[in-house]
Structure 1
Amino acid sequence: MRCDEVRRYYDILAKRRGQLALKRCFDLAVALILFVILAIPMAVIAVMIKLDSKGPVLYRQERVTTNGKHFRIHKFRTMVSNADKIGSAVTVGNDSRITRVGAKLRSLRLDELPQLFDVLNGDMSFVGTRPEAVKYVEKYKPEYMATLLMPAGITSEASIRYKDEDKLLNAADDVDKVYIEEVLPAKMKWNLESVQKFNFFRDMLTMPRTVFAVLGKDYN
């Protein structure tokens, strides 16, 4: 990460340490509140997953966050238990690995709820670049590494713009190739702009925009 392409983003964030601290305080407070409110709904979802298919309730995959740190993300499992061994690390719209309950969870983004644990741990924030699998980070161009100056996020402007990413990959013969060469660079334009223009209150606007996007609003 010590390169000229990343340095300019570092210099920008260095001047906004107060807002970064405010962002962390917000993440902790809201994550704790949401965890209390959502504990029972999350328990119900866990039971539904166990009744629907064999395998663990949670999906844990190694991802990358601040300064290149590796962590194991928490998500509700929405695919068959051996999905990583029988397909790509990204998901297409008609992916046969998705379970019946998983499809409903993914459509409402409810599979992301366990990431509250990751926010509390400091591995993630509510708003920030979505944490990529290690194999995709290894393909990053030097400038892309600037997105690792901040914690990975549950949502982002790129997530809103590419909320139907799985559908975009439907027709791809080589999903990984198309993701790395076409989808990832397009998302990174939004991610890098978000780092460059980072502002705590700008982040706050991203959260309601995410809710509206999940409910069907198109921001493209």
Structure 2
Amino acid sequence: MFYIENVPLSSATYLTVRRLFDIVLAVAGLAAAMPILVIFSIAIKMDSKGTVFYRQERVGAKGRYFQLLKLRTMEMDAEKDGPRWAGINDPRVTRIGKFLRKTRIDELPQLINVLKGDMSMIGPRPERPVFTEMFNQRTPGFIKRLAVKPGLTGWAQVNGGYDSTPEEKLAYDLEYIRKRSFFFDMKIILLTFKVVITGEGAR
């Protein structure tokens, strides 16, 4: 677990409306995404051996651990030699996985995490415990990202790709935490649609 000090406070109204916003969007998103999930579940099974979905432990708000759900984009033995940070043109990524990552379709199952309350629609991307500790040692203050719930999308996600450095992610995430508001949230949602449609920022 990670202990976070000086957690920024938000108004009760903002947090309540935001949670309702999360639930409505997650339910609507799952309903709309069901045909897409079915199609790409079949594609994943045809493309490589292994499961369609996978669970991975991540660090959430206030350092709480939870199981994140995603569509599988890498070979099943991708971490046989231990945890590794995904890079540009990572050879472990499958053919269908490259498309899923480019369009962020692999993130859709996380709508279930949003419904459960582990995540929000918008916030810092949740990292794995081993990387959270590693990045915090290299970049002191990295765990300040844990002041709020992690998000399916966020300011760092729409401004960078999978290969963004921890320093870049931290700068964007702390900017979001400082400035978060209904207006900022809507801006990120609109930019997320742009990323999904164009593939910009996703590598």
TM category, shorter:
0.7 to 0.9
Aligned to 1:157: 155
SS at structure 1 position matched to 2:124: coil
How far apart are residue 86 of structure 1 and its match? 3.9
SS at structure 1 position matched to 2:79: helix
Aligned to 1:176: none
Could you tell me the TM-score, scaled by structure 2's length?
A: 0.88
Aligned to 1:57: 52
Aligned to 1:13: 9
Does the 8 A contact of 1:22 with 1:200 survive in 2?
no
What amino acid is the match of 1:198?
A: R
- Are 2:77 and 1:75 aligned? no
How far apart are residue 90 of structure 1 and its match? 2.2
- How does 1:87-166 map onto structure 2 within 5 Å? 88-139=83-134, 140=136, 143-163=141-161, 165-166=162-163
- Are 2:177 and 1:195 aligned? yes
C-alpha separation between the residues in 2 aligned to 1:46 and 1:211?
22
SS at structure 2 position matched to 1:81: coil
C-alpha separation between the residues in 2 aligned to 1:61 and 1:202?
29
5+ long unaligned stretches in structure 2: none
SS at structure 2 position matched to 1:114: helix
What amino acid is the match of 2:178?
A: Q
Deviations 1:147-201 (A, max 9, x none): 21211111111112212x43x6xxxxxxxxxxxxxx1022101101111112122
Does the 8 A contact of 2:58 with 2:128 survive in 1?
yes
C-alpha separation between the residues in 2 aligned to 1:158 and 1:142?
18
5+ long unaligned stretches in structure 1: 169-182
Deviations 1:28-52 (A, max 9, x none): 0111111112112211111111111
Does the 8 A contact of 1:63 with 1:70 survive in 2?
yes
Higher-Rg member (1/2): 1
What amino acid is the match of 2:55?
A: R
Does the 8 A contact of 1:63 with 1:131 survive in 2?
yes
What amino acid is the match of 2:9?
A: L
% identical equivalent positions: 36
Q: How many residues align?
A: 196
How has the CA–CA distance of structure 1 residues 25 and 84 changed in structure 2, closer, same or farther, with 3 Å as cutoff? same
C-alpha separation between the residues in 1 aligned to 2:96 and 2:200?
24
Question: Cα RMSD between the aligned structures?
Answer: 2.0
C-alpha separation between the residues in 2 aligned to 1:61 and 1:89?
13
Could you tell me the TM-score, scaled by structure 1's length?
A: 0.82
